[in-house]
């Protein structure tokens, strides 16, 4: 079987309801309404896809390599995982999260291993407690059987169980524990307080929607801080070169080179806010209207006068640095 289909398969994206929808509270208070879903803990690491074709093991990121234009290969950074994946039947593809055994280690800690050269990544994982684990949560192909259109409940009860049989004593491979929604509702606060990131709910009849983020097929619940009002102390310049997938229909070019929309229009790409003594970059949540207005003389004058305030939310505030994890702009205020 040619496994290139799975190597090049675009990841499915998980849908997060807006805070104003009240979905999180509704699930906790009325779990019986969500009996069509199955839930698992969300690990705070980096999404990864493992493809084993019988000859080579590929561990692929969801991001593209700037050098190759393909999904970035990470197997050289985790050779201990490559070896254990060879236990599986050839022509198998599983999805998971590269993470640490310690729940208090975050995606930024995983990133220190994934974004360096393999030699340094291996050296940083010399001790057992520093080695990355693979948290398996889905199976898209098993022993040559394509499961993309197989309902999610069958994928995890039948095929995830088959994968699990090969790793009863493996220290590096972990498996998502799927729970009914009533159990999730009871354990939600306890899990978050223990350092967990959140939960992912999937409909039992959900097929794998490659490259899509269908609403209500999945529900991602992640802890978030309360809204904060922080002073804007700087602006972020946009990336110059366009690297997206719509090049054939792209309309923003400078000297024949595709550039980003914000660069072409001379707009800013984000803001810098001050949380205590820490400066944090925020680009998520910036609309075209925000970007255009922040680029005006009026906005820059207010910035210089210290009169620009950002209302932001974040998944959490890092206790040691004060940095915002996944900070998101909610509103720009000039009336304070």
* Tens digits of residue pLDDT in 132-171: 999 999 999 999 999 999 999 999 999 999 999 999 888 8
Q: What's the confidence (pLDDT) of residue 92?
A: 98
Do 80 and 64 form a contact (C-beta atoms < 8 A)?
no
Domain 228-333 carries which CATH code?
2.40.50.140
Give the residue range(s) of CATH 2.40.50.140 domains in the chain. 228-333
CA distances to 57, 77, 98 from 170, in Å: 17, 19, 15
The secondary structure of 100-136 as a DSSP string is -SSTT--HHHHHHHHTS-HHHHHHHT-SGGGS-EEEE
Structure tokens at 306: 């210290």
**pTM of the full structure:** 0.71
Q: Average model confidence (pLDDT) for the chain?
A: 89
CA angle 225, 230, 232 (to 5 degrees): 135
Give the residue range(s) of CATH 3.30.470.30 domains in the chain. 4-222
Better-scored residue on pLDDT, 326 or 321? 321
The string of pLDDT tens digits covering residues 261-297 is 999 999 999 999 999 999 999 998 888 889 999 999 9
Instruction: State percent of the chain over pLDDT 70.
Output: 93
Span 4-222 CATH architecture: 2-Layer Sandwich (3.30)
Residue owning tokens 């900070």: 327
């Amino acid at each position: 079987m040619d496994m290139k289909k799975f190597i090049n398969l675009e990841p499915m994206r998980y849908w997060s309801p807006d805070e104003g929808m009240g979905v999180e509270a509704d699930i906790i208070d009325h779990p019986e309404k969500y009996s069509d879903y199955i839930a698992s803990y969300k690990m705070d690491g980096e999404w990864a896809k493992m493809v084993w074709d019988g000859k080579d093991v590929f561990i692929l990121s969801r991001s593209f390599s700037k050098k190759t234009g393909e999904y970035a290969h990470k197997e050289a950074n985790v050779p201990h995982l490559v070896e254990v994946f060879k236990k599986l039947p050839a022509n198998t593809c599983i999805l998971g999260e590269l993470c640490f055994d310690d729940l208090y280690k975050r995606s930024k800690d995983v990133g220190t291993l994934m974004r360096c050269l393999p030699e340094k990544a291996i050296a940083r994982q010399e001790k057992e407690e520093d080695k990355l684990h693979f948290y398996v949560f889905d199976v898209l192909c098993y022993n040559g059987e394509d499961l993309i259109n197989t309902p999610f409940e069958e994928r995890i009860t039948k095929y995830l169980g088959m994968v699990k049989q090969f790793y009863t004593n493996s220290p590096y491979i972990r498996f998502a524990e799927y729970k009914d929604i009533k159990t999730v509702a009871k354990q939600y606060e306890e899990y978050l307080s223990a350092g967990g990131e959140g939960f992912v709910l999937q409909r039992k009849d959900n097929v794998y929607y490659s490259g899509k983020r269908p609403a209500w097929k999945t529900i991602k619940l992640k802890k978030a801080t309360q809204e904060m009002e922080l002073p804007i102390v700087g602006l972020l310049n946009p990336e110059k070169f366009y690297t997206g997938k719509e090049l054939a229909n792209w309309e923003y070019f400078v000297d024949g080179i595709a550039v980003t929309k914000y660069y072409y229009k001379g707009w800013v790409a984000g803001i810098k806010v001050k949380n205590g003594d820490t400066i944090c970059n925020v680009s998520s949540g910036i609309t075209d209207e925000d970007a255009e207005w922040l680029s005006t003389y009026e906005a820059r004058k207010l910035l210089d006068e210290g009169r620009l305030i950002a209302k932001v939310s974040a998944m959490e505030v890092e206790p040691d640095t004060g940095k915002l994890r996944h900070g998101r702009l909610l509103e720009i205020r000039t009336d304070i």
